[in-house]
Amino acid sequence: MSRLVPRRPPATAGVLVVLALVLGQWLHQQLPERVSSSRPFEEQVAVGDTVSLRTGDVEVLSVEGATSVAPAGGQVLVSPGVFVAVEFTFTPRGESSSLRYAALRDNAGRVLPFFGSSGRSSITCTGRLVDRPTRCLAVVEADPATVPGARIAVAPSDIDERWDSMAVIDLAATRQLVQKWSARSEPLELPEAGVMTRTEAS
Protein backbone atom coordinates (compact mmCIF):
# COMPACT_ATOMS: atom_id res chain seq x y z
CA MET A 1 0.00 0.00 0.00
CA SER A 2 1.53 3.29 -1.12
CA ARG A 3 1.43 6.35 1.09
CA LEU A 4 0.60 9.79 -0.28
CA VAL A 5 3.56 12.06 0.11
CA PRO A 6 2.66 15.78 0.39
CA ARG A 7 4.09 17.77 -2.45
CA ARG A 8 6.42 20.57 -1.58
CA PRO A 9 5.94 23.83 -3.45
CA PRO A 10 8.73 24.44 -5.89
CA ALA A 11 11.44 26.81 -4.82
CA THR A 12 10.44 29.26 -7.55
CA ALA A 13 7.14 29.99 -5.76
CA GLY A 14 8.97 31.36 -2.74
CA VAL A 15 11.18 33.46 -4.98
CA LEU A 16 8.15 34.93 -6.73
CA VAL A 17 6.54 35.85 -3.40
CA VAL A 18 9.69 37.64 -2.28
CA LEU A 19 9.95 39.46 -5.62
CA ALA A 20 6.31 40.58 -5.35
CA LEU A 21 6.91 41.98 -1.87
CA VAL A 22 10.02 43.83 -3.03
CA LEU A 23 8.19 45.24 -6.05
CA GLY A 24 5.27 46.38 -3.89
CA GLN A 25 7.60 48.17 -1.50
CA TRP A 26 9.40 49.85 -4.41
CA LEU A 27 6.11 51.07 -5.94
CA HIS A 28 4.98 52.42 -2.56
CA GLN A 29 8.18 54.46 -2.34
CA GLN A 30 7.99 55.74 -5.94
CA LEU A 31 4.32 56.68 -6.17
CA PRO A 32 3.12 59.93 -4.53
CA GLU A 33 1.39 59.80 -1.19
CA ARG A 34 -2.37 59.36 -1.51
CA VAL A 35 -3.13 62.54 0.41
CA SER A 36 -0.85 64.61 -1.83
CA SER A 37 -1.96 63.02 -5.08
CA SER A 38 -5.64 63.57 -4.31
CA ARG A 39 -5.29 67.28 -3.64
CA PRO A 40 -7.02 69.67 -6.04
CA PHE A 41 -5.03 71.57 -8.64
CA GLU A 42 -4.82 75.03 -7.11
CA GLU A 43 -4.62 78.24 -9.13
CA GLN A 44 -3.60 81.32 -7.14
CA VAL A 45 -5.38 84.54 -8.13
CA ALA A 46 -5.66 88.12 -6.86
CA VAL A 47 -8.05 91.01 -7.52
CA GLY A 48 -7.89 92.01 -11.19
CA ASP A 49 -6.47 88.68 -12.33
CA THR A 50 -8.01 85.71 -14.18
CA VAL A 51 -7.32 81.99 -13.85
CA SER A 52 -8.51 78.99 -15.86
CA LEU A 53 -10.19 76.10 -14.06
CA ARG A 54 -11.37 72.76 -15.43
CA THR A 55 -14.83 74.07 -16.31
CA GLY A 56 -14.23 77.77 -16.97
CA ASP A 57 -12.40 81.00 -16.22
CA VAL A 58 -12.52 82.98 -12.97
CA GLU A 59 -11.80 86.72 -12.84
CA VAL A 60 -11.68 88.38 -9.41
CA LEU A 61 -13.34 91.81 -9.46
CA SER A 62 -13.24 93.00 -5.85
CA VAL A 63 -12.86 92.13 -2.17
CA GLU A 64 -14.79 94.15 0.43
CA GLY A 65 -15.67 93.79 4.09
CA ALA A 66 -18.05 95.15 6.73
CA THR A 67 -19.80 94.20 9.94
CA SER A 68 -23.14 94.16 8.10
CA VAL A 69 -24.21 93.30 4.56
CA ALA A 70 -27.32 94.07 2.52
CA PRO A 71 -28.00 91.25 0.03
CA ALA A 72 -29.86 92.23 -3.15
CA GLY A 73 -33.55 91.86 -2.35
CA GLY A 74 -32.86 90.52 1.14
CA GLN A 75 -32.63 91.62 4.75
CA VAL A 76 -29.56 93.24 6.26
CA LEU A 77 -27.33 90.80 8.14
CA VAL A 78 -25.29 92.06 11.11
CA SER A 79 -22.25 90.23 12.45
CA PRO A 80 -20.40 90.40 15.77
CA GLY A 81 -17.35 89.72 13.60
CA VAL A 82 -16.90 90.76 9.98
CA PHE A 83 -18.32 89.77 6.60
CA VAL A 84 -15.90 89.42 3.68
CA ALA A 85 -17.45 89.59 0.20
CA VAL A 86 -15.59 88.52 -2.94
CA GLU A 87 -17.12 89.53 -6.27
CA PHE A 88 -15.88 87.60 -9.30
CA THR A 89 -16.99 86.43 -12.72
CA PHE A 90 -17.12 82.86 -13.99
CA THR A 91 -17.16 82.09 -17.72
CA PRO A 92 -18.09 78.44 -18.45
CA ARG A 93 -16.28 76.58 -21.23
CA GLY A 94 -17.79 73.74 -23.27
CA GLU A 95 -21.01 73.46 -21.26
CA SER A 96 -23.03 75.25 -18.60
CA SER A 97 -21.44 74.76 -15.19
CA SER A 98 -21.27 76.29 -11.73
CA LEU A 99 -18.93 76.90 -8.83
CA ARG A 100 -20.50 75.31 -5.75
CA TYR A 101 -17.62 74.89 -3.29
CA ALA A 102 -16.10 77.69 -1.25
CA ALA A 103 -13.87 77.70 1.82
CA LEU A 104 -12.18 80.30 3.97
CA ARG A 105 -8.54 79.51 4.64
CA ASP A 106 -7.86 81.65 7.67
CA ASN A 107 -4.55 82.77 9.13
CA ALA A 108 -4.77 80.09 11.83
CA GLY A 109 -4.34 77.40 9.16
CA ARG A 110 -7.96 76.25 9.26
CA VAL A 111 -10.04 75.41 6.18
CA LEU A 112 -13.68 76.37 6.78
CA PRO A 113 -15.95 75.25 3.90
CA PHE A 114 -19.31 76.87 3.17
CA PHE A 115 -21.91 75.90 0.60
CA GLY A 116 -25.15 77.05 -0.99
CA SER A 117 -26.51 80.39 -2.10
CA SER A 118 -28.24 81.31 1.16
CA GLY A 119 -27.15 81.76 4.75
CA ARG A 120 -24.64 83.97 6.48
CA SER A 121 -21.77 82.41 4.52
CA SER A 122 -22.63 81.53 0.93
CA ILE A 123 -21.46 81.21 -2.66
CA THR A 124 -23.67 82.10 -5.62
CA CYS A 125 -22.19 81.22 -9.01
CA THR A 126 -24.28 79.51 -11.69
CA GLY A 127 -22.81 79.71 -15.19
CA ARG A 128 -25.88 79.37 -17.42
CA LEU A 129 -24.42 80.39 -20.78
CA VAL A 130 -21.24 79.02 -22.33
CA ASP A 131 -18.60 81.68 -23.03
CA ARG A 132 -20.67 84.38 -21.29
CA PRO A 133 -19.42 85.64 -17.90
CA THR A 134 -21.66 85.27 -14.86
CA ARG A 135 -21.36 87.67 -11.93
CA CYS A 136 -20.65 85.58 -8.82
CA LEU A 137 -20.41 86.29 -5.13
CA ALA A 138 -18.78 84.53 -2.18
CA VAL A 139 -19.60 85.94 1.26
CA VAL A 140 -18.14 84.58 4.49
CA GLU A 141 -18.61 85.63 8.13
CA ALA A 142 -15.47 85.38 10.21
CA ASP A 143 -13.62 86.49 13.33
CA PRO A 144 -11.73 89.66 12.29
CA ALA A 145 -8.56 88.37 13.97
CA THR A 146 -8.42 85.41 11.55
CA VAL A 147 -8.91 87.39 8.32
CA PRO A 148 -5.53 89.18 7.74
CA GLY A 149 -3.59 86.96 5.35
CA ALA A 150 -6.59 84.70 4.71
CA ARG A 151 -7.72 83.35 1.33
CA ILE A 152 -10.96 82.04 -0.13
CA ALA A 153 -10.96 78.95 -2.36
CA VAL A 154 -13.72 78.27 -4.91
CA ALA A 155 -14.23 75.12 -6.99
CA PRO A 156 -16.84 73.36 -9.15
CA SER A 157 -17.77 70.48 -6.83
CA ASP A 158 -19.30 70.87 -3.38
CA ILE A 159 -19.19 67.09 -2.79
CA ASP A 160 -15.56 66.15 -3.37
CA GLU A 161 -12.97 68.70 -4.48
CA ARG A 162 -10.15 66.13 -4.79
CA TRP A 163 -8.46 65.89 -8.20
CA ASP A 164 -10.42 68.96 -9.31
CA SER A 165 -9.24 72.48 -10.12
CA MET A 166 -9.65 75.27 -7.58
CA ALA A 167 -9.15 79.03 -7.58
CA VAL A 168 -7.50 80.30 -4.39
CA ILE A 169 -8.27 84.00 -4.06
CA ASP A 170 -5.85 86.23 -2.14
CA LEU A 171 -7.97 88.64 -0.10
CA ALA A 172 -5.00 90.99 0.38
CA ALA A 173 -6.53 91.74 3.77
CA THR A 174 -4.06 93.48 6.07
CA ARG A 175 -4.73 94.09 9.75
CA GLN A 176 -5.35 97.78 9.04
CA LEU A 177 -7.83 96.97 6.26
CA VAL A 178 -9.78 94.56 8.47
CA GLN A 179 -9.92 97.22 11.19
CA LYS A 180 -11.36 99.61 8.60
CA TRP A 181 -13.99 97.02 7.63
CA SER A 182 -14.87 96.49 11.31
CA ALA A 183 -15.36 100.23 11.82
CA ARG A 184 -17.66 100.60 8.82
CA SER A 185 -21.07 101.85 9.98
CA GLU A 186 -23.22 101.42 6.88
CA PRO A 187 -24.10 97.96 5.46
CA LEU A 188 -22.11 96.71 2.49
CA GLU A 189 -24.43 96.52 -0.53
CA LEU A 190 -24.01 93.13 -2.20
CA PRO A 191 -24.43 92.94 -5.99
CA GLU A 192 -26.93 90.55 -7.51
CA ALA A 193 -25.39 87.45 -9.07
CA GLY A 194 -26.34 86.42 -12.60
CA VAL A 195 -25.37 86.45 -16.26
CA MET A 196 -23.74 89.74 -17.15
CA THR A 197 -25.01 91.86 -20.01
CA ARG A 198 -22.76 92.39 -23.00
CA THR A 199 -22.17 95.98 -21.86
CA GLU A 200 -21.06 94.82 -18.39
CA ALA A 201 -18.87 92.07 -19.85
CA SER A 202 -17.08 94.38 -22.27
Q: What is the pLDDT of residues 56-95, one digit of tens each?
A: 999 999 999 999 999 988 899 999 999 999 999 999 998 8
Over residues 162-186, the pLDDT tens digits come to: 777 899 999 999 999 999 999 999 9
- To which H or E segment does residue 38 belong? none
Region 93-112: what's the mean pLDDT? Answer: 94
Asked whether the predicted pLDDT for residue 22 surpasses 80, the reply is no
Is 31 domain-assigned? no
* Domain extent at residue 157: 40-201
* Res. 8: pLDDT tops 80: no
The mean pLDDT of 158-162, rounded to a whole number, is 73
**CATH number of the domain that 155 lies in?**
2.60.40.1240
Residue 184: the pLDDT is 94
CB 60 within 8 A of CB 34: no
Q: Considering the domain boundaries, does residue 33 fall inside one?
A: no
The pTM (predicted TM-score) of the whole model is: 0.78
Q: What's the confidence (pLDDT) of residue 34?
A: 47
Question: Is 123 domain-assigned?
Answer: yes
Contact indicator for 169, 153 with CB cutoff of 8 Å: yes
Encode burial over 124-150: b for 16+ CB neighbours within 10 A, e otherwise: bbbbeeeebbbbbbbbbbbebebbbbb
Q: How many independent structural domains does the chain possess?
A: 1
Q: Say what the pLDDT of residue 35 is.
A: 46
User: What tens digit of pLDDT does each residue of 109-150 get?
Assistant: 999 999 888 889 999 999 889 999 999 999 999 999 999 999
Residue 108 belongs to a domain: yes
Q: Alpha-carbon dihedral of residues 103, 181, 149, 109, nearest 10 degrees?
A: -50
Does the residue 70 lie in any domain?
yes
Q: Which residue has the higher pLDDT, 101 or 160?
A: 101
Residue 128 has what pLDDT?
Answer: 85
Bridging pattern class, strands 41-45 and 165-170: parallel
Average pLDDT over the chain reads 85
Answer whether residue 192 is part of any domain. Answer: yes
Residue 169 included in any domain? yes
pLDDT at 201: 65
Answer yes or no: is 193 within a domain. Answer: yes
